[in-house]
Amino acid sequence: MARPSSHPVKPAPPKPKPRDPVASGSRDAAVNRAAAHNYFLLEKVEAGLALRGTEVKSIREGRANLKDAYGLIRDGEAFLLNAHIGAYSHGSYNNHDALRTRKLLLHQEEIRKLTGKTQQKGLTLIPTRLYFRNGRVKCELAVARGKQDWDKRETERRREADREARAAMARGRKS
C-alpha cells in the first residue's frame, strides 16, 4: 500500500502547442522546383523581402508560388517580379495585390556583384525558395543559366542512373 504524500503535488502544466513549421523556420514556405529543372543554378544569395502585413500572413498560410518569378536589378535596387502571394483569408479591403513587384533587401555590395553577373549573356536571377528566419521572410536567389532541352534530358538520364545504382547497392546489401 502506498504511503500518502505529505506535500501536495502540482499537476504538470499543459504542454504548449507546437509552432507552425513554416513560421518557425523549420520548413520552407515556398519552393521553386521548376528552377533546378529549367536552369543551371550557379550561385545562391539570401535576400530579405519588403512585404505588407497581409503578405506575410498569407505566406505563413502557404499561399506563395515562385514558379514564374524572377529577379531584376534596376537603378541600384533589386526587385522580385511575378511572385504570386495569394490573398490573406482574413484580410478585408486591406488585402494586397497578388502579383505586385516586391523589393528585395540586399546590401549595396551584393547588388553590385549581382549586377555584374546578370549583365553577362544568358544569366538571370531566379528565386528558389521563400522561408522564415527569425520571424522575417527571406528569399533565396540563384544566379542561373537557362538549360536547353538536351541539357534537361542529360540531367534526367544522370538522375535515373544514380537512382538505379543506389537500388542495386541496396539489393546487394540485402543478399
pLDDT (tens, 9 = 90+) of the chain, 175 residues, equals: 666 667 777 888 888 777 777 777 777 888 999 888 888 899 999 999 999 888 888 988 888 999 999 999 999 999 999 999 988 888 778 788 889 899 999 999 999 999 999 998 889 999 999 999 988 999 999 999 988 888 889 888 999 999 999 999 998 888 7
In a domain, 34, yes or no: yes
Q: Please indicate, yes or no, if residue 109 is contained in any of the structural domains.
A: yes
Is the residue at 137 inside a domain?
yes
In a domain, 90, yes or no: yes
In a domain, 118, yes or no: yes
Please name the residues in contact with 91: beta carbons below 8 A apart, sequence gap of 6 or more: 54, 57, 58
Q: pTM of the entire structure?
A: 0.76
Biggest alpha carbon–alpha carbon distance for the chain: 84
Strands 64-65 and 84-85: antiparallel
